[in-house]
Amino acid sequence: MKKEIEFTINGKSRKLTVKPNELLLNVIREDLGLTGTKYGCGTGECGACTVLIDEEPVLSCLTLAITVDKKKVTTIEGIGTDENPHPLQQAFVETGAVQCGFCTPGMILSAKTLLDKNPNPTEDEIKRAIEGNLCRCTGYIKIIEAIKLASVRMGGRRK
Amino acid sequence: MKYSYMGKGVPRIDAFEKVTGTALYTGDLRFPGMLYTKLLKSPLGHARIVNIDTGEAEKLPGVRAVLIGKEAPYKFGIYMGDKTVLASGKVRHVGEPVAAVAADTEEIAERAVELIKVEYEELPGAFDVLKAMEDGAPLVHENMSEYRHAPFIYPKSGTNIANHFKLRKGDVERGFKEADVVIENEFYQPQVQNVQMETHTSIGQWLPNGQINIWTSAQSPFAVRHLLSVGLGVPLHKINVVVPYLGGGFGGKAGLHWEPLVVLLSKKAGGRPVRLVMTREEQFYTTAVRQGFYARIKTGAKRDGKITAGAFFYVWDAGAYADYGVNITRAAGYSCTGPYEIPHIKCDSLTVYTNHPYGTAYRGFGHPEFHFATERQMDLLARAIGMDPVEFRLKNAAVPGRITATGEKLREDAGRVDECIKAVVEAIGWGKKAPKEVNGKLRGKGIAALWKAPAMPSSTSSSAILKLNEDGSVTLSISSTEMGQGTPTGLAQMVADELQMPIEKVKVVTKRETDFSPYTWQTVASRGLFMEGNATLDAVRNLKEQVKTTAAELLGVPKKELEVAEERVFALGRPDKSIPLAKLATAGIFPDGRGIGGPVLGYGYYTAEGLTNLDPETGQGLPALMWTFGAQGAEVEVDPETGDVRVVKMASAFDIGRAINPLLLKGQVYGGIVQGIGSALMEEFIFDERGALLNKNLTDYKICRTQDIPEEMVFIPIENPQRNAPHGVRGIGEHPRISIEPAIANAIYDAAGIDLFEIPMNRERVWRALRKKGEKRAFA
Ligand code: FES
Ligand code: FES
């Protein structure tokens, strides 16, 4: 039985009819055409599919689409604009925190929740916030540096 | 000079696309009518396929094509044409695809796969690489002698040996007689996976008119086109291969993989585009992995520290197909000594088929594996003659003027491993007094050196096209793909410097497409910045020549007096004699309206210089375009109770010739080191006795997460420029990943007094070694 759901995606309200077993990851990528959210494993082990539901990071590959009914979903496409990128996006560019870029959307979203809740995280807190996001390219160092830089720019850290 | 980008940490030109989620990877592409593929995989390691019944699957609504091995008898391979895209006649490893279904949705394809019935007759398997070499071992490929292979590959028919590389230099027996001390040891590394975050993804379309279109996560579009053409027997020019961004490659996406499968499915489905995205599980055991490795090394040295002889016996567990493996065997064979001069050498390096997942390239191309053996052996031999391991290495270091295993005399500009070692010694505080125990954990330091040259055919080439646009900007096309290494950014820096224009006016085409893009051999071997760099500089020269020729006519100034900078062509010191590049892009115009010249398209190429084939019996010759030397230092902490090893600090130095972009360079270095730590401490394929992989997910097969990285990483670039390189630069993509394992193993000895010979050095292995040594705190 298909079900109609209504939710906010990157600030815009949407109605969709989905199958009860449809995964959020597929709805985002296939139905909404937002391909910034990536498939890395499909089993909750890599974090590439991370999106925010009501500002909390979730793994969209393990989340049923029907559960976002009446909720607010944010993907990487929804946190900044070309003219006005999110400080995390800017910091990832400048510090060299991006290589192949496949883990980047999930990384940035996990980091965003961290900074929203805790504007001045310690290195350990940063590491913990992104420990579910695997990156095979960077060795994480530059990603941690980028999150620190964004935290300074967002007013969290006083140097 | 107004613009200077060399040596600057320019942010990568593709970063903005990637942080906004707009960068497109193969799996993000959509085509009308696209079908989705699922695979039926073998549950057995070695079995005859008695029967396949696809009847039920074909009847399922929404199924557009079902393909089995019998219908696809084509053999593919870059060095050894031994692989079909679906098992045919028999299966050779657990996870090998036996049938494929293309359907309207993935769900339908999945259901159809479940409806296919296969009858197998299990055969005895070859699950141990050393036993697979013995007489009478079950043969993985009975018809190996019929396979097409590269001329520098030497299979032994009637056995599982797909390649036997031989190197003989001097008289090894005499060398051992001259030695005061001779030691012999065995080492082992398991099969591992590259674990690119993007799994292998391909879309193929075989149109009724014979045109084949492919979009794929491949490192090397031209290799895909060539290998597909040869394998399928279709004309090369009818194939177009498009490669968008790659979500990591690390060698695992070099050559050809699943492109033929989607193309054949498309043909059967009447030309509709067919997509295959490997699941993570398939990425572990269906697609290519890194080969397993066994080594037996015998080395002799004099008491004064000079090595007299080395005998290297390397065996590579290629798994079921040895396509790439045979060349890894060769590359490791001619580099077998590590960065040292040894007068008398014997090396036998063998690729051996087994019934494991099939092996391929993985960052370092065999070098991380054999350096574990050689750099452990260096420490063990230093200890045996009572010499400091650093002093011992420096004494034998392959510095300029010394002779390599293949008989190459290292040039003055070849780079310096001794400087790398010394830099690491300094950074890690080698020989300095340090506490041996911190908070109940044992501390120690270890060092390992390394070298690697690109492994490629002797006449490998690259090309570049630089187009002048109507607004005076330029567009660079190359075919080296972008998979995270950042080569295109480095090339943009070179172009901006050469043309003296802002880097914002240099665009590098992101998509690679064989119908339009200039040829390059492959994006592998840490060769990109060197080879495409030389080609790009050549294209800049060619573009300058063209604009100067036209400008000379228009300005009435001899060509040789003209310069190009700041988007103009001008005569030095004569402000009136100047013309914007924009005015030359389509054609020059004389004051009376007549046109001159035409659209400007700079073309450049570079072909590897002076490389030769190696003698089949002695391995002598010149295989190396450049050597990148390096050294790694590790400081570790060993928990005497649990066997847990933590890397506290890494210090690394590489002679990169010249740092073009320190920001991206550091990315390569740190990323490589952390990959290496994963392999050193945790990564390993675990099989059951019938060859089934037990840890084929990221929970049971762990790679480094944030908490596994060292507290501190120090990188020291050494810059001795290479003469024939663009701005003196050498390759660095793979090198940070090499010699991590031995540096850590040597540090573990320093900390805990235990010698490890097997990778990974996980808790269990270390704990067992501690117990054996009598460490009382290693509780049972
Ligand atoms: S794709 Fe969801 S965690 Fe990997
Ligand atoms: S940048 Fe490639 S996986 Fe993180």
Q: Is the CB of A136 under 6 A from ligand 2?
A: yes
User: Residue B189: beta bridge partners?
Assistant: B293
Same-domain check for residues B264 and B295:
no
A100 CB within 6 A, ligand 2: yes
Mean of pLDDT values over A24-31: 97
User: Half-sphere exposure of residue B235, counting CA atoms within 13 Å on the CB side?
Assistant: 5
The reply to whether A119 falls in a domain is yes
Shared domain for B640 and B725, answered yes or no, is yes
Do B515 and B531 lie in one domain? The reply is: yes
Q: Is the dihedral of CA B359, B361, B367, B368 positive or negative?
A: negative
Mark B306-327 as b/e (b = at least 16 C-beta within 10 Å).
bbbbbbbbbbbbbbbbbbbbbb
If asked whether residues B701 and B713 sit together in one domain, one would say yes
Q: Are B449 and B464 contained in the same domain?
A: no
Do the Cβ atoms of A39 and B27 come within 8 Å?
yes
Walking along chain B (780 residues) 10 residues at a time, the average pLDDT comes out as 94 96 97 98 98 98 98 95 97 98 98 98 98 97 96 96 98 98 98 98 98 98 98 98 98 97 98 98 98 98 98 98 96 98 98 98 97 98 98 98 98 97 98 93 98 94 98 97 96 98 96 96 93 98 98 96 97 93 97 97 96 96 96 98 97 98 97 98 97 98 98 98 96 97 98 98 97 88
Q: For residue A76, give the nearest of B14, B21, B27 by CB distance.
A: B21
- Indicate the DSSP class of residue B698: T
Residue A159 counted as domain residue:
no
In this structure, the answer to whether residues A107 and A50 fall within a common structural domain is no
Find out whether the beta carbon of A138 lies less than 6 Å from any atom of ligand 2.
yes
Question: Rounded CA gap, B764 and B7, in Å?
Answer: 45
**A14 and A67 within one domain:** yes
Starting at the edge strand found earlier in the chain, the sheet holding B90-91 runs: B90-91, B47-53, B117-122
Boundary residue ending a domain (B236, B254, B277): B277
Q: Are residues B602 and B617 in the same domain?
A: no
End-of-domain residue from the set B546, B580, B607? B607
Per-residue pLDDT at A156 exceeds 80: no
For residue A26, give the CATH number of its domain. Answer: 3.10.20.30
Same domain, B640 and B594: no
Q: Is the pLDDT of residue A7 over 80?
A: yes
* Same-domain pairing of A15 and A69: yes
Tell whether the model's pLDDT for residue A32 goes beyond 70.
yes
- A96/A65 same-domain check: no
CA distances from B18 to A14, B21, B483, B774 (A): 26, 5, 12, 52
Q: What beta strand segments (E) does B454-593 contain?
A: 461-468, 474-477, 506-508, 512-513, 562-565, 568-571, 574-580, 588-589
Q: Please tell me whether residues A69 and A25 are part of one structural domain.
A: yes
- Asked if A49 and A61 touch (Cβ cutoff 8 Å), the reply is yes
Closest CA to B354 of B303, B274, B289: B289
**Does residue A102 line the site of ligand 2, with CB under 6 A?**
yes
Ligand 2 center to residue B700 CA distance, Å? 20
* Same domain (yes/no): A73, A12: yes
Assess whether A98 and A54 both reside in one domain: no
Same-domain check for residues A129 and A66: no
Q: Where are the alpha helices (DSSP H) in B578-717?
A: 662-681
Residue-wise DSSP of B253-311: TSS-SSHHHHHHHHHHTTT--EEEE--HHHHHHTS-EEPEEEEEEEEEE-TTS-EEEEE
Could you tell me if A95 and A146 lie in one domain?
Answer: yes
Are B295 and B259 found together in one domain? no
Task: For tokens 């039985």, name the residue.
Answer: A1
- Cβ neighbours of residue B422 closer than 8 Å, sequence gap 6 or more: B394
Containing domain of residue B599, as a range?
15-20+460-607
Q: How many A/B residue pairs have CB atoms within 8 Å?
A: 169
Of A78, A112, A139, the residue that ends a domain is A78
Pocket of ligand 1 (CB under 6 A): A 39-42, 44-49, 59, 61
Domain of residue B722, CATH code: 3.30.365.10
Q: Is residue B355 part of a domain?
A: yes
Which pLDDT score, from 0 to 100, does residue A159 have?
Answer: 46
Q: Which of residues 43-62 of A touch B (CB under 8 A)?
A: 43, 45-46, 48
Ligand nearest to the CA of residue A61, numbered in listed order: 1
For an interface test with A, the pick among B8, B14, B18, B482 (most A C-beta atoms closer than 10 Å) comes out as B18
Q: Is the pLDDT of residue A158 over 80?
A: no
Domain final residue, candidates A38, A54, A78: A78
Indicate if ligand 2 lies below 6 Å from the C-beta of A141.
no
Residue B109's domain is classified under what CATH number? 3.90.1170.50
The helices-and-strands tally (H runs, E runs) of chain A is: 5, 5
Contact by Cβ (8 Å): B585, B600 = yes
Same domain, B623 and B593: no
Q: Please report which residue ranges of A16-103 form alpha helices under DSSP H.
A: 24-26, 87-95
- Residue whose structure tokens are 């295993």: B405
Q: What is the pLDDT of residue B544?
A: 98
* Domain limits for position A9: 3-78
Find out whether the beta carbon of B686 lies less than 6 Å from any atom of ligand 2: no
Instruction: Name the residue with tokens 């080879």.
Output: B531
The CATH number linked to A147 is 1.10.150.120
Nearest by CB to A108, from B19, B25, B279: name it: B19
- Is B5 within a domain? no
Q: Kindly report the CA angle at B472 between B471 and B478, in degrees rounded to 5?
A: 110
Q: Single out the residue in B217, B252, B277 at which a domain terminates.
A: B277
Domain count, chain B: 3
- Cis, bond preceding B760 (omega within 30 deg of 0): yes
Please count the structural domains in chain A. 2
In a domain, B8, yes or no: no
Q: What does the block give as tokens for B220?
A: 């090397």
Same domain (yes/no): A73, A116: no
Whether residue B638 lies inside any domain: the answer is yes
Q: How far does the centroid of ligand 1 lie from the alpha carbon of residue B357, in Å?
A: 24
Q: How far is A72 from B467, CA to CA, in rounded Å? A: 46
Q: Are residues B246 and B327 in the same domain?
A: no
- Residues linked to residue A38 through DSSP beta bridges, in sequence order: none
Same domain, A13 and A74: yes
Residue that finishes a domain, picked among A44, A78, A112: A78
Q: Which residue has the tokens 């391979």?
A: B77
A93 lines ligand 2 (CB under 6 A): no
Question: Helix B763-773 to helix B740-752 angle, to the nearest 10 degrees?
Answer: 30
Tell me if B137 is assigned to some domain.
Answer: no
A158 belongs to a structural domain: no
Q: Check whether residue B450 and residue B465 sit in a common domain.
A: no
A30 and A9 in one domain? yes
Window A:120-139, CB contacts with B under 8 Å? 126-128, 130-131, 134-139
Q: Count Cβ atoms below 10 Å from residue B726 Cβ, excluding itself.
A: 24
| Structural domain includes residue A59 | yes
pLDDT score of B575:
85
Q: Are the C-beta atoms of B208 and B277 separated by less than 8 Å?
A: no
* Predicted confidence band of residue A40 (pLDDT cuts 50, 70, 90): very high
pTM listed for this prediction: 0.97
Question: Has residue A150 got a pLDDT over 50?
Answer: yes
Question: Which among B11, B20, B280 has CB closest to A41?
Answer: B280
Question: Are the Cβ atoms of B11 and A102 closer than 8 angstroms?
Answer: no
Query: How is B644-670 classified by DSSP, letter by letter?
Result: -EEEEEEEEEEE-SS-S-HHHHHHHHH
Do residue A144 and residue B707 have CB atoms under 8 angstroms apart? no
> Are residue B230 and residue B110 in the same domain, yes or no?
yes
Residue from A108, A136, A144, A145 to probe the interface with B (highest B Cβ count within 10 Å)? A136
Strand (E) or helix (H) holding B603: strand B601-607
DSSP state of B448: E
Please check whether residue B2 is in contact with residue B566, taking contact to mean a CB–CB distance below 8 angstroms. yes
Q: Which residue's CA is the nearest one to ligand 2's atom 4?
A: A135
